[in-house]
Each structure stands twice: as C-alpha cells, then as structure tokens.
A = this chain, B = another copy of it.
Amino acid sequence: MSIRDAQREAVIERLAGHLLAHGLARTSLRQLAQAAGVSDRMLLYYFADKAEVLAAVMARVAGELSIRLAEAIPDGAPLKPAELVRRAAAFTTGPEMRRFMRLWVEVVAAAARGEAPFPAIVAQVMAGFRHWVDTRLDLPEGADRAGTAAAIIAVIDGLALVDICSEDEIAPRMAAALSGLLED
C-alpha cells in the first residue's frame, strides 16, 4: 500500500471519530484537515474533493454501525415486531450508540437539503437498515414486510430524534412507555 493509501485510511479513521463526536457541525475542509491531523492541501491530495472525503468517512461509520447492529441482535432467531423494536430501541438509545443515531439524523437532514454526498449515503444506509430488520423479523405469512420494516425503522429513528432534542434523561422513560404501547 502506498503512503498515500495508508494516510488515506488513517485520515478516514480519525475523521470517523470526529464526525461521531461532533456531528456535521465542523466539516469545512480546513476543520476536517485539522481534525485528521493533516493540512487541507493534503486532504485534497488523498481525496478528490470534499464530497469524497465525507463519503469515505460516512461509509466507514456506516460499516461500523452495521457491525454493531449485527452483533447486538444476531439474525439467527427472528423476533416478533414488538420484541425487535424493544431490543433495537434499548440498544440504539444506549450511551454508545446515541452518537451514531444523532449523526444519522443530521445526515438525513443534509440529504433532504440535497447536499452531496448525503443523498446517496442515506439511500445506502437506509437499505442496510431495511435489510437488517428484514432478516430479523418474524412476521406472519401475507403481512407487509416492507411496510412493517419501515415502521420499525421509523420508531427507532424517532426515538433518536426526540433524544437529540431533550436535554434531560427522557430516553429510558420514552423507551419504557413505547414498549407498553406495542402489541405483543
């Protein structure tokens, strides 16, 4: 691997941490370069442009998220929707995953604004979510799997969104209340 490729990898790694820590708040080229410990000039040597930087970093973050989701709830034993929601909610509102979900909400908003490269990233991550749910969902024959999967994702993402807005510790109570609302 060339020096350039090695540096590229190191930069991606550092910037993944940066984005998870600060969201999309500090993502100018110079700010990214500083966070990665390189000059902005070199950032554009390792990557074609800013969009490629963000795409590479977000791909890394999405991969990490995917791994953790797979570890947290393996796909061996399908769960009924209510149980899947409960377990996913408990996991994604946990201290370690909150920053992922927070970043995810920001990325969705950036995609809504049409800001490159986020629309493509959102499509990709969303497809990953759908697949993750689909492979863990125990649903009767004839039920709307895609609709149910979308609903489950919506509930999980909604928890993250409200979590962002609330300075106090409402997440556990919210998750508990949600659990009570679900049909077993």
Contacts and interface: CB of A to CB of B under 8 A. Distances in A.
A170 interface: yes
A142 interface: no
A177 B176 CA distance: 21
Interface string A154-184: 1111110110111000100111111011111
Interface residues of A, number: 52
A174 B157 CA distance: 14
User: How many copies altogether?
Assistant: 2
A150 B162 contact: yes
A10 interface: no
Interface string A114-131: 110000001100100000
A70 interface: no
Given A102-B112, A108-B105, A184-B183, A162 B154 contact: yes
B162 A161 contact: no
A71 B59 CA distance: 43
A174 B154 contact: yes
Given A106-B113, A123-B165, A151-B178, 4 more contacts: A111-B165, A143-B177, A151-B181, A154-B174
Contacts of A157: 158, 161-162
